[in-house]
């Protein structure tokens, strides 16, 4: 079921012209004599291989993780998620990036996993951004309503 939902969303991003990825792939098919799904599959497979086996995987992963949200925010704002979810994305991205060196040493294909985790914030079968945002709002309410600590004098 999850795999089917991922495949459906992938097809939507490849063929549905409401998404900039589909529009870019349609332009690419003018110069490259292959269907858009084959182009997307080839590019993403090569990118994944580079992420797993290249010495520059950190730069490749972080470039993609930075530029896609920037493209959505500034070039295609009607396609971008809500501002609150974009801000959540940047927070998660920054926290994960703090641990890049350590996690890359202990996890094989760490940068692929990093991009999958960041993608899972918005991919339909997972869509963790609204779930995480709701969790943060609950924590904020608990903090706001919890009694403040006072010293012995009541101050």
Q: What is the DSSP string of the chain?
A: -HHHHHHHHHHHHHH-TTSHHHHHHHHHHHHS-S-HHHHHHHHHHHHHHHHHH-TTHHHHHHHHHHHHHHIIIII-TTTSPPHHHHHHHHHHHHHHHHTHHHHHHHSTTHHHHHHHHHHTTT-TTT-HHHHHHHHHHHHHHHHHHSPPP--TT--
Please state the rounded mean pLDDT for residues 4-32: 94
The pTM assigned to this predicted structure is 0.83
Q: Provide the percentage of residues in the chain whose pLDDT is more than 90.
A: 81
Residue 87 located in a structural domain: yes
CB atoms within 10 A of CB 3: 8
State the chain's mean pLDDT as an integer: 91
Residue 65 located in a structural domain: yes
Residue 116 located in a structural domain: yes
Taking the C-alpha atoms of residue 34 and residue 138, their distance in angstroms, rounded to an integer, is: 49
- Assign 153 a pLDDT band (cuts: 50, 70, 90): low
Residue 107 located in a structural domain: yes
pLDDT at residue 38, rounded to an integer: 96
Taking the C-alpha atoms of residue 55 and residue 58, their distance in angstroms, rounded to an integer, is: 8
pLDDT at 2 over 60: yes
pLDDT at 98 over 90: yes
pLDDT at 146 over 80: no
Residue 136 located in a structural domain: yes
pLDDT at 148 over 70: no
pLDDT in tens, 37-55: 999 999 999 999 999 999 9
pLDDT at residue 108, rounded to an integer: 87
Residue 151 located in a structural domain: no
Residue 50 located in a structural domain: yes
> Which residue range(s) make up the domain with 123?
2-145
Residue 26 located in a structural domain: yes
pLDDT at 149 over 60: no
pLDDT at residue 29, rounded to an integer: 95
pLDDT at 151 over 60: no
Q: Structurally, how many domains does the chain consist of?
A: 1
């Amino acid at each position: 079921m999850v795999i089917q939902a991922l495949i459906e969303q992938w097809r939507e991003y490849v063929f549905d012209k409401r998404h900039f990825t589909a529009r870019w792939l349609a332009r690419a098919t003018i110069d490259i004599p292959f269907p858009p799904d084959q182009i997307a599959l080839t590019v993403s497979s090569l990118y994944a291989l580079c992420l797993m086996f290249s010495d520059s995987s950190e730069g490749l992963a972080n470039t993609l993780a930075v530029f896609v949200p920037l493209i959505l925010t500034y070039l295609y704002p009607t396609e971008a998620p809500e501002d609150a979810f974009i801000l959540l994305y940047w927070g998660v991205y920054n926290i994960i990036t703090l641990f890049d060196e350590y996690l890359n040493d202990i996890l094989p294909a760490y940068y692929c996993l990093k991009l999958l985790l960041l993608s899972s914030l918005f991919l339909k079968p997972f869509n963790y951004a609204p779930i995480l945002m709701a969790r943060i709002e609950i924590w904020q309410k608990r903090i706001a309503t919890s009694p403040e600590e006072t010293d012995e004098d009541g101050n």
